[in-house]
Amino acid sequence: MLITSSGMSQYEVLGSRFTVALGDNRFEPDVVVVDPSEGSLEEYEYHGTPILVVEVVSKTSRDYDLGKKRSIYRQYRIPELWFVDYTGGMVEIDTLVSEGYSTQKQGLSEPIKSLILESFSVTLRCGSNSAS
């Protein structure tokens, strides 16, 4: 999927089967938005700093996602990080600002709006019920 920002840049949205290479570290975020002109996109691996990373936090991945992954993502200065916690019913949004990162929390019932990608928002639905 491609998204276009108002500044006419095209970004690519990749799913959890893509690996993001950050130095010697390799991660498979649940969703990642990249600028293909700022890094190299191989068959299943992106080398470069993504624009946005989304991690869905579970009971078993909580410490790893909010600890090691978050620390490395911040070290590589990824502009925006979303940590979606369905169990807790909230999302933590880390946004890169001049002095480091600003973290905001919000409930999952409202759309999550990117502060980096204009007009990009996601509405999450919890649960396995899907009515047709």
As a whole number of angstroms, the distance between CA 28 and CA 41 comes to 14
Specify whether the CB–CB gap between 13 and 33 falls below 8 A. yes
Report pTM: 0.86
Length of the chain (residues): 132
Angle formed at CA 73 by CA 24 and CA 6, multiple of 5 degrees: 120
List the structure tokens of 75: 């070290």
pLDDT of residue 9: 63
7-56 per-position pLDDT tens digit: 546 888 888 889 999 999 999 999 999 988 888 888 889 999 999 999 99
Q: Residue 5 gets which letter from DSSP?
A: -
Cα–Cα distances (Å) from 18 to 38, 47, 62, in that order, read 17, 11, 20
As a whole number of angstroms, the distance between CA 16 and CA 18 comes to 5
pLDDT of residue 52: 95
76-128 per-position pLDDT tens digit: 999 999 999 988 889 999 999 988 999 999 998 888 889 888 778 888 766 54
pLDDT of residue 132: 31
What lies within 8 Å, CB to CB, of 131 at 6+ separation is none
What percentage of residues in the chain have a pLDDT greater than 70? Answer: 87
